[in-house]
Amino acid sequence: MFYRFDGIENVRDLGGLTRADGARIRERTLIRSGHLGGASAEDTARLADWGVSLVIDMRDRRERERHPDRAVSGAENVWCPPVEDLEAFIPIKSTVPREVREVFHEFYRLLSLHPAAIQAYERFFRLLLDSEGKPVLWHCTQGKDRTGVGAMLLMSALGFDREAVIEEYMRTNQFAAGQLEAMRLARASEEELALMSEVFQVFEKNALYYFDCIQMEYGSVENYLEMTMGVGPDQIAKLEGFYLE
């Protein structure tokens, strides 16, 4: 479910998503979004009213310095970057849409296998386990790639099938459609629209590539979670108890 905020983009709740066996994620416990740098006082008050106790910021240092998160009363803000220097990982110098798409595609291999990314998502799960089911929000800049990987891993750990995981990942494009329409109304050129389509949207090919990289290296997502992040049957049972109903 998407929520409209004054100054936070791409806010959506995993609550209500239903597993194949009928188990549902509790509402307003797992929230993903873009950064909180432009959040209004009403935005942060709303998150506080929801009981958000933890904000996990997945941006790099320069992104955080450029747009520091606005504080949410009662919530701890934890820095948990899968990449410490985003420009080194996705050096987008090209204005050719195909080349930009290739850079983002490669980014998903790095998010799956780079030690810094694995360490960050291991910490992401540790933070969730330590939060004991209290509402959590995690974000990067636009809330689509680094945030999306967090959601894919978490939904996989919670027992959602691959189709459901990919479907939730692709919902970012509903938000991106609004961004692109705003550019059209502002009379952006076709070249600008084509380029920003690659930046604003997510692509199923990238999500599948992410899982393929894990499969090739570890055999399964279950193995990957347990071997690299310490998320085995006991931890999964705790997460299910926290977030499923």
Mean pLDDT by 10-residue block, N- to C-terminus, for the chain (245 residues)? Answer: 96 97 97 98 98 98 96 98 83 76 91 96 98 97 97 98 98 95 93 91 97 98 98 98 98
Q: What is the pTM of this model?
A: 0.94
Q: Provide the token pair at 178.
A: 């609004």
The answer for residues whose C-beta is within 8 angstroms of residue 220's C-beta and 6 or more apart is 214
Judge contact between 145 and 176, C-beta under 8 A.
Answer: no
CA distance 57 to 146: 10
Partnered with residue 137 across adjacent β-strands are: 31, 55
Judge contact between 154 and 165, C-beta under 8 A.
Answer: no
What single letter denotes the amino acid at residue 145?
D
CA distance 204 to 199: 14
Total domains in the fold of the chain: 1
Judge contact between 112 and 222, C-beta under 8 A.
Answer: no
Farthest-apart Cα atoms in the chain, separation = 54
Can you point out the beta strands (E) in 43-118?
Answer: 54-57, 76-79
The region, left, alpha or beta by phi > 0 then psi within -120 to 50, assigned to residue 61 is alpha
Partnered with residue 25 across adjacent β-strands are: 244
CA distance 98 to 243: 39
CATH code of the domain in which 49 resides: 3.90.190.10
The range of the structural domain enclosing residue 161 comes to: 2-243
pLDDT score of 127: 98
